[in-house]
């Protein structure tokens, strides 16, 4: 996507041919800053500190982290050590393990001297593939939005609610949940997006709103507790969210608060779609509530907020009483029964094992 007229992906190899360029997402929306990763440790830190975030982008960064490790020491021991560090950086999004397994699988068959070049090539392939996959998700989701527009007599914009950031910043380009929105907008379908602010890290308020605004998509940021009220009053035509891990029976793990939106959507007959690439499906598990590890992050993400003051300075303030403790669960699981459909690169399916294996027959039991 373009930023001030310049086309960007979220991750790239710098002109030096080896260091990795990324967008520092902790600086958005107030500054667009790019930065470089020069070592596996820097890649691991970028993932853990959420300089990069979003399931597909975490995977791509992990892959390049292995490439950076192989550049300095391509031994078996260092391959294992780098894999072990990177896989531990964030526990919930399965794309990280998927990408690391894919690169390690290629490298394990090679002599050490061949590994660095192969790791860069495989990482680039993962990124290129992600762009194509997200574009296809956009094409399939666009049709659902278009259908809603037609059902409403082409008389008013389609109102879509989304949670967290599942746009191009969370992937390599296009996004998952936002790809259908970009494709529909580009095709001339009038749209308006309700953007959940997504406490505590505010990915909606700071990243989704920024992305949509840059692309000219009408949107309104809402406090996280607003969606149910909007749905009761017919102000939401559909929800689309992303996911960090989806099980083989269609349980969907996504940013904390997604489950509550799905409950409200079910109660109000609002379609609730989840957009995801194949790399987000964990075919090894079924019960998302019992089997997906939920990341717990620092209390300070809840107790302290950061923003821009009227004089333009970026500052942080504590918003809870001194001494009060905070809990910070990063994700929750929406059971498949609350999901209207999964929008994948292969098409749209029911959130069920039968629905998913009809699209991905290679994973049928
Ligand atoms: O903690 P984050 O910002 O990495 O969480 C991101 C999300 O929950 C996204 O919705 C998810 O990765 C799916 S999107 C591509």
Per the annotation, the verdict on 311 as an active-site residue is: no
25 neighbors 49 (Cβ within 8 angstroms):
no
The reply to whether 228 and 148 lie within a common domain is yes
pLDDT, position 6: 87
Residue 279 tokens read as: 């790399």
pLDDT computed for residue 132 by the predictor: 98
Nearest CA to ligand 1 atom 8: 255
Q: What's the CA gap between 328 and 224, in Å, rounded?
A: 15
Which residues sit opposite 272 in a β-bridge? 239
Kindly report, residue by residue over 285-338, the tens digit of the pLDDT. Answer: 999 999 999 999 999 999 999 999 999 999 999 999 999 999 999 999 999 999
The verdict on residue 263 lying in a domain is yes
CATH of residue 183: 3.40.50.10470
CA dist., res. 339 & res. 215, Å (int): 28
Report whether 160 contacts 238 (CB < 8 A): yes
Domain shared by 117 and 97, yes or no = yes
Residue 301's Cβ-count burial label (10 Å; 0-12, 13-18, 19+) is: middle
Specify if 259 maps to a domain: yes
From 162, 242, 293, 332, give the residue whose CB has the most ligand 1 atoms within 8 Å, as the site to mutate: 242
**Cβ neighbours for 141, distance < 8 A, ≥ 6 positions apart:** 179, 180, 181, 183, 184, 240, 273, 275, 343, 348
Rg of the chain taking only CA atoms, in angstroms: 20
Same domain, 73 and 163: no
> Which domain-ending residue is among 68, 98, 129?
129
- The beta-carbon contacts of 200-206 under 8 Å, at least 24 apart in sequence, are 200/301, 200/302, 200/328, 201/50, 201/301, 203/53, 203/164, 203/165, 203/255, 204/162, 204/163, 204/164, 204/165, 205/29, 206/28, 206/29
Point out the ligand 1 atom lying closest to the alpha carbon of residue 56: 15
Q: Is residue 134 part of a domain?
A: no
| Domain membership flag for residue 334 | yes
Using a 6 Å cutoff on CB, does residue 180 contact ligand 1?
Answer: no
Residues 151, 294, single domain; the answer is yes
Same domain, 201 and 347: yes
- Same domain for 163 and 218, yes or no, is yes
Per-position DSSP letters for 217-252, written without gaps between them: --EEEE-GGGHHHHHHTT--SEEEE--SEEETT--E
How confident is the prediction along the chain (365 residues), in pLDDT tens digits per residue?
Answer: 888 888 899 999 999 999 999 999 999 999 999 999 999 999 999 999 999 999 999 999 999 999 999 999 999 999 999 999 999 999 999 999 999 999 999 999 999 999 999 999 999 999 999 999 999 999 999 999 999 999 999 999 999 999 999 999 999 999 999 999 999 999 999 999 999 999 999 999 999 999 999 999 999 999 999 999 999 999 999 999 999 999 999 999 999 999 999 999 999 999 999 999 999 999 999 999 999 999 999 999 999 999 999 999 999 999 999 999 999 999 999 999 999 999 999 999 999 999 999 999 999 99
pLDDT score, position 230: 98
Instruction: Supply φ then ψ for residue 315, to 5 degrees.
Output: -140, 160
Please identify, among 129, 160, 193, the residue that sits at the C-terminal boundary of a domain. Answer: 129
Q: According to the model, what pLDDT value does residue 4 have?
A: 83
Does residue 95 form part of some domain? yes
Residues forming beta bridges with residue 255, ordered by sequence position: 331
CA 245/CA 201 separation, integer angstroms: 19
Assign residue 35 the CATH number of its domain: 1.20.120.420
The answer to whether the Cα torsion of 364, 90, 52, 326 is positive or negative is positive
Which ligand 1 atom sits closest to the C-alpha of 280? 13
d(CA 119, CA 337): 40
DSSP state of 167: B
Same domain, 156 and 276: yes
CA of residue 254 to ligand 1 center, whole Å: 7
| Predicted pLDDT at 97 | 98
Domain identity same for 40 and 116: yes
Range of the domain at 221: 140-363
How far apart are the CA of 281 and the centre of ligand 1, in A? Answer: 14
DSSP-assigned states of every residue in 279-315: GGEETT-S-HHHHSPPPB--THHHHEEEEE-TTS-EE
Same domain, 201 and 259: yes
Q: Catalytic residue among 244, 251, 282, 332, which?
A: 244
Residue 164 CA to ligand 1 center (angstroms) comes to 6
Q: What is the pLDDT of residue 146?
A: 98
Structure confidence at residue 176 (pLDDT): 98
Distance CA 171, CA 133 (A): 10
Tally of domains in the chain: 2
**Residue found under tokens 């309104």:** 220
Q: Supply the pLDDT for residue 5.
A: 84
**Is residue 277 within 6 Å of ligand 1 at its C-beta?**
no
User: Do residues 106 and 126 make contact, with C-beta atoms less than 8 angstroms apart?
Assistant: no
Q: Is residue 135 part of a domain?
A: no
DSSP H or E stretch at residue 275: strand 272-275
Same domain assignment for residues 240 and 295:
yes
d(CA 50, CA 330): 12
Residues whose CB is less than 8 angstroms from the CB of residue 47 and which lie 6 or more positions away in sequence, other chains included: 53, 58, 61, 62, 65, 86, 89, 90, 96
**Beta strand 252-255 with 245-247: parallel, antiparallel or unpaired?**
antiparallel
Measured CA to CA, the distance from residue 175 to residue 137 in angstroms comes to 9
State pLDDT tens for residues 50-99.
999 999 999 999 999 999 999 999 999 999 999 999 999 999 999 999 99
Domain boundary among 110, 129, 148: 129
**Is the Cβ atom of 244 under 6 angstroms away from ligand 1?**
yes
Choose which residue among 24, 46, 54 to substitute to test ligand 1 binding: the one with the highest number of ligand atoms within 8 A of its C-beta: 54
């Amino acid at each position: 996507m373009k930023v001030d007229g310049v086309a960007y992906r979220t991750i790239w190899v710098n002109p030096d041919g080896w260091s990795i360029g990324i967008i520092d997402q902790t600086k958005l929306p107030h500054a667009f800053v790019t930065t470089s990763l020069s070592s596996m440790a820097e890649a691991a830190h970028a993932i853990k500190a959420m300089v990069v975030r979003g399931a597909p982008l975490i995977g791509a960064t992990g892959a390049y982290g292995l490439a950076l490790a192989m550049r300095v020491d391509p031994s078996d021991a260092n391959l294992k050590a780098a894999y072990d560090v990177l896989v531990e950086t964030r526990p919930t999004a399965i794309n990280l393990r998927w990408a690391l397994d894919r690169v390690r699988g290629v490298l394990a068959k090679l002599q050490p001297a061949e590994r660095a070049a192969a790791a860069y090539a495989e990482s680039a392939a993962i990124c290129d593939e992600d762009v194509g996959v997200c574009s296809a998700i956009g094409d399939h989701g666009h049709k659902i939005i278009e259908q809603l527009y037609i059902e409403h007599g082409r008389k008013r914009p389609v109102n879509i609610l989304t949670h967290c950031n599942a746009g191009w910043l969370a992937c390599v380009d296009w996004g998952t949940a936002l790809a259908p929105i970009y494709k529909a907008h580009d095709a001339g379908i009038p749209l308006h997006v309700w953007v959940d602010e997504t406490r505590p890290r505010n990915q909606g308020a700071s990243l989704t709103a920024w992305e949509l605004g840059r692309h000219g998509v009408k949107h309104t940021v809402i406090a996280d507790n607003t969606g149910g009220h909007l749905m009761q009053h017919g102000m939401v035509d559909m929800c689309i969210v992303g996911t960090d891990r989806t099980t083989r029976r269609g349980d969907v793990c996504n940013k904390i608060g997604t489950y509550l939106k799905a409950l409200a959507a079910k109660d109000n007959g609002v379609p609730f779609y989840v957009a995801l690439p194949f790399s987000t499906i964990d075919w090894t598990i079924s019960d998302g509530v019992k089997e997906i590890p939920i990341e717990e992050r620092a209390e300070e993400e809840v107790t302290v907020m950061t923003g821009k003051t009227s004089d333009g300075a970026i500052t942080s303030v504590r918003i809870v009483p001194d001494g009060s403790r905070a809990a910070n669960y990063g994700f929750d699981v929406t059971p498949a029964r609350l999901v209207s459909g999964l929008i994948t690169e292969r098409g749209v399916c029911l959130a069920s094992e039968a629905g998913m294996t009809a699209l991905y027959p290679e994973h049928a039991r």
